[in-house]
A = this chain, B = another copy of it.
Amino acid sequence: MKSEIQIIEDIRKWCTHRSRDVIKGIGDDTAVIRMGNKSLLITSDMMLEGVHFDLSLITPFQLGYKFLAINISDIHAMGGVPSYFFISLGLPESTTNRFIKELYSGIIKIAERYDINIVGGDTCRSVSGLVLSGTLIGYGKRIIRRSGARVGDRIYVTGTLGDSSAGLYLLKRRRKRIYNLSSKIAEVNLMKRHLLPEPVSISESKGINAMIDISDGLLIDLWRMCDESRVGAVIYKEKIPLSEGLRKVCRKFRLDPYSYALKGGEDYVLLFTSPEESRKDAYCIGEIVKKGRYIIDEKNKKIRMRPEGYDHFRKNGV
């Protein structure tokens, strides 16, 4: 089978749309459909047991919370406001009523925080693992696409990177009982970033040319943005924001924090470009150039970038 990117490219070619109301089809964080003077933003996500989550690492409450969170992040990445959520569940026969209730508690918790209405879905039996599939609909006025990055723009991220994937590493260690880490605040925070991500949004979208949310890792998502915008990029390793917790944990376990920050997925921070020289709400990590994609390391060495990160068709955890 081809890679995820190739399959989506194929699908994109097959699915030409003819309605003039379709402003953006396949190939961004959400689809964009014109509705009078507003734009409707729609995103769909699927999470499968054994692929996207492991019920020995995440509680049903956390899973429900996280599932809606990642959809919210997609709407935010277009500069929109999420409104209506539809969830389809495939439930294995062993699923208890308590499990379903807790899963929904997590979904409802985050729905209330972000003022989202849960308005529909489908429920059926699964003969294999748990299946979650959701569609979130939102609104936007000024839509920000992946494809708007311009040469000379600065590259910004809204939060620290690598925390979620390092949190996953810790969760796996804990399951194996290699080490009991429940009492260390830094470690708990990283795990929380993985289990209960808080989707951020940009309050002031003025001046932002392109945006994407980092779900599969900085390198792969920046790569996508550059592809869509037909530009190059340079990022400075030392400018990438790392949390104190990530540094601490990486020192302790002799890991490279930048490997998590560059390639670790599921951070759900926003990556955007803007001609502005500084922003209060984000860290500048590089700039958009005409051609070439490079990382400048701490010794000022130019390293060719590669779109490494989470490919949904390959197992390649950090």
Q: How far is the CA of A83 from the CA of B50 in the complex (A)?
A: 34
Which residues A84-104 have CB closer than 8 A to chain B?
A: 84, 86-91, 93-97, 100-101, 104
Chain B residues positioned under 8 Å from A90 (CB to CB): 46, 48, 51, 131
Chain B residues positioned under 8 Å from A123 (CB to CB): 4, 7-8, 11, 312
- What residues make up the interface of A, taking CB atoms closer than 8 Å to B? 1-2, 4, 7-8, 10-11, 14-15, 17-19, 22, 25-26, 30-31, 33, 35-36, 40, 42-46, 48, 50-52, 83-84, 86-91, 93-97, 100-101, 104-105, 108, 115, 117-129, 131, 133, 135, 137, 312-314
Contact of A44 among B35, B45, B88, B115 (CB under 8 A): B88
Quick check: B118 and A15 within 8 Å, CB to CB? yes
Quick check: A126 and B83 within 8 Å, CB to CB? no
Quick check: B124 and A51 within 8 Å, CB to CB? yes
Quick check: B15 and A51 within 8 Å, CB to CB? no
Quick check: A124 and B52 within 8 Å, CB to CB? yes
Query: Which of A89, A97, A118 has the most chain B CB atoms inside 10 A of its CB?
Result: A118
Q: How far is the CA of A54 from the CA of B122 in the complex (A)?
A: 20
22 example contacts (A-B, Cβ-Cβ < 8 A) are as follows A1-B91, A4-B124, A7-B91, A10-B101, A11-B100, A11-B104, A14-B104, A15-B119, A18-B115, A22-B84, A31-B119, A42-B137, A44-B87, A46-B124, A46-B131, A48-B90, A48-B125, A51-B124, A86-B135, A125-B312, A125-B313, A133-B133
Chain B residues positioned under 8 Å from A105 (CB to CB): 14
Q: How far is the CA of A71 from the CA of B228 in the complex (A)?
A: 31
Quick check: A118 and B42 within 8 Å, CB to CB? no
- Please judge, given known A-B contacts A15-B118, A120-B26, whether A48 and B88 are in contact too, CB under 8 Å: no
Quick check: B88 and A45 within 8 Å, CB to CB? yes
Chain B residues positioned under 8 Å from A101 (CB to CB): 10, 14
Q: How far is the CA of A118 from the CA of B10 in the complex (A)?
A: 13
Q: How far is the CA of A135 from the CA of B119 in the complex (A)?
A: 13
Q: How far is the CA of A105 from the CA of B90 in the complex (A)?
A: 25
Contact of A51 among B4, B97, B119, B125 (CB under 8 A): B125
